Amino acid sequence: MWMLNFLGNERRQHLIGLSPKTQYHFNLPKLFSTRSKDNCFTEKTPLLKVSSEDNGLRCMALHNPDFTTDDDSWDNSSAEFEQRSHLGSEMTSLSRSASSEKCELLDNLHVKFNLSKMRCCLRFLKVSTLFIFVVVCSILFSTYPAQGAPWQMLAVSALRSYSVNVTDFRESALLKLELGGPFVADMVDRLAEEYITVQIGQMEDPGSRRRRQQQVLYNWTLPLNSRRNEQVITTRTFEILSSHVVSINIQAFLQESEIVPLSMKHQYLLANIETQVTIASVILAGVYVLIILEIVHRTLAAMLGSLAALAALAVVGERPSMIKVVEWIDYETLALLFGMMLLVAIFSETGFFDYCAVKAYQLSRGRVWAMIIILCLFAAILSAFLDNVTTMLLFTPVTIRLCEVLNLDPRHVLIAEVIFTNIGGAATAVGDPPNVIIVSKQEVRKAGLDFAAFTGHMFFGICLVLLVSFPFLRLLYWNKKLYNKEPSEIVELKHEIHVWKLTAQRINPASREETAVKCLLLQKVLALEILLKKKLKTFHRQISQEDKNWETNIQELQKKHRITDKILLIKCLTVLGFVILMFFVNSFVPGIHLDLGWIAMLGAIWLLVLADIQDFEMILNRVEWATLLFFAALFVLMEALAHLHLIDYIGEQTALLIKVVPEDQRLAVAIILVLWVSALASSLIDNIPFTATMIPVLLNLSQDPDVNLPVKPLIFSLAMGACLGGNGTLIGASANVVCAGIAEQHGYGFSFMEFFRLGFPMMIMSSTIGMCYLLVVHVVLGWNS
């Protein structure tokens, strides 16, 4: 046996170029030692070294001083045999480790195969479930006919009333009554001298032998407008508990003997309010599950929610017609988005965004956080005078280009910008759509909240919110990695480590030489990983500190990123400046009969003509069609949920909670309740229909003599909560969706949860500061007049 080992060793010695009479000593522990004075492996240490022997033969010798040769006699063979036995055991262990690595590799492949198979199953399950859901909703929607009940024209006066009996009520749960006439819009004027009263009554059991008497169930009072030519359609739903004959009686209380023309339409609903609210809540929760878990794209999620809501309305008995559904879409918002997207698409051809990115870097003097604060502050200030959607349409391309130039991750910067855009938009009456709706109401202006009073009150509160928001944002971003891409040297070093690891894994340690080579490779990998950790630590420290070479970087960036078309830039600045000026002037000059959508569309047409665009398809490809479709589907979804009484139910429950509070604590509780209900509701649903629904609720609540609350604190609480609550979720505000759509088009899309992790804490903090401001001003100081 000893002779066979000797012959095998002799053959291996010939293979590596050693003389058969040459003896060597191999010390394995020294091979793995990285702290030896003679053997210090670094990332620059060569693995193999070419050497020559005295006999002129060139051979490859491992660069290790422990591999030595001498001419000692064979008398020391027993000691050598022990070393060989020790080496054999080491080789056996390495062979076992290699076989275990193979087993682990096979196990990993098996796990990956099972995961791939599971993904395919889940995808098939998702598609099947959604398809079945769509088919069921389509069948339900097509089974029930559209409610096209005709309008009835009637006339009432002080001497003549109108009465009709509804005999086909059957088992319907609700009676929906629509009445058109010269009414006062949006509120119940308790001091009106002329009004219309609608009485909903029900006959007693017709099978009874006693005389049938009518029982009045509901009284609905509608104040009349002095201008009889203005027509307003009001709607109210009455819950009928029995299936007896229902009577509708309309009487007019007038000062003069005149005739008031009216129009009326009624229909039956098959579910009560609580059931409809439950259905609406389930649909809204399902849409959020689809968006949060990213099961489908948010545009498709909104479309599925709209289809489910329309099917629910059809089952209830209130299926809308195609014309009605189209009327639900807010085309002014879509026109504003489309026009501004065209302007920004042409603007990007001038290189202006690259130029602004370099200037922002110059203002920050190379400091990343200073630059982020400057961008957020500019966005907040601009959104106070413009619509926040327009602000993000202008700021998002600049921010993305800036982050690309400075090697930052645009997602975190964009989320911070859109958060401060929503905060800044709450400062003025024209900065956010809820504020525009509040100030445009005539009843609110009669209460003393005009443009100047509203802006002055909100401006100080939002300034306080901004002061606290900046350090809180820095706290949220404390452990966030703001960089996007690593330097090329780190990328190359990672690639080198990956190559050496693969090389080491491919070596099968069947011989001592292969074992030694694998040990050297692993030692090389260890040295490179230590170097990588040092470089990453240095890079993380530098990215959060001031760039020492920012002046040199600015000079290089200025040479690389310049204005490419100055003539087109002048045209774009002229048209865009005029559009922004018209946005601002439109709120003050009553002679301009253009809304924001028309102004944006006209500006886009002007710039298309001036720019002489030949490749029109290229401009249209930059339009966020998915975002526009998402808003259209969202408008339909929110209107359908409103028809299912979800928003009305929230407002009524809020008013009931305020009424049960003791009078001495009622104002403080009302401010807290209205603000937080508005903030949380605006995070989940669109704040525009919610604001429009809550305004008459709060006005009627302030005029109730049993409640005795001033109207100004309630309106300010609604505005503060509706504007700041948009930061809670990705679909809470229109600016959030616009920013996410543009970022996704540039390859930097962020998910619902990525926005939620930063936006929801900011919403909680900003709403808390706003609540404290309102409590101090209106409860402590008593500034309610």
pLDDT digits 0-9 by tens, 448-484 = 777 788 888 899 999 999 999 999 988 888 766 666 5
Highest mean pLDDT among 232-236, 276-280, 332-336, 686-690: 276-280
Token duo for residue 164: 């009709």
User: Chain-wide mean pLDDT for the chain?
Assistant: 78
pLDDT at position 177: 86
pLDDT at position 279: 94
**Residue 131 pLDDT greater than 80, yes or no:** yes
Give me the residues paired with residue 214 across strands.
203
Single out the residue of 657, 651, 658 nearest to residue 710, CA to CA. 658
pTM of the model: 0.68
Helix (H, G, I), strand (E, B) or coil at 266: strand
Token duo for residue 617: 């398809």
**Residue 732 pLDDT greater than 50, yes or no:** yes
Task: Please tell me the distance from the alpha carbon of residue 726 to that of residue 334, in angstroms, as a whole number.
Answer: 19
pLDDT at position 309: 94
Q: What are the E-state strand segments in 570-718?
A: none
Antiparallel, parallel or unpaired: β 214-223 and 195-203: antiparallel
Query: In this prediction, what percent of the chain has a pLDDT beyond 90?
Result: 18
Highest mean pLDDT among 65-79, 426-440, 726-740: 726-740
User: pLDDT tier at 62 (50, 70, 90 boundaries)?
Assistant: very low
**CA-angle at 286, arms to 282 and 291, nearest 5°:** 150
User: pLDDT tier at 508 (50, 70, 90 boundaries)?
Assistant: confident
Contacts for 668 with CB less than 8 Å, ≥ 6 apart: 775, 779
Q: Which helix (H) or strand (E) holds 49?
A: strand 48-52
pLDDT at position 522: 84
Q: Higher-confidence residue: 609 or 82?
A: 609
690 in Cβ contact with 681 (< 8 Å): yes
Helix (H, G, I), strand (E, B) or coil at 379: helix
Token duo for residue 731: 């679909």
Task: Please tell me the distance from the alpha carbon of residue 638 to that of residue 627, in angstroms, as a whole number.
Answer: 16
User: pLDDT tier at 20 (50, 70, 90 boundaries)?
Assistant: very low
pLDDT at position 8: 46
pLDDT at position 675: 93
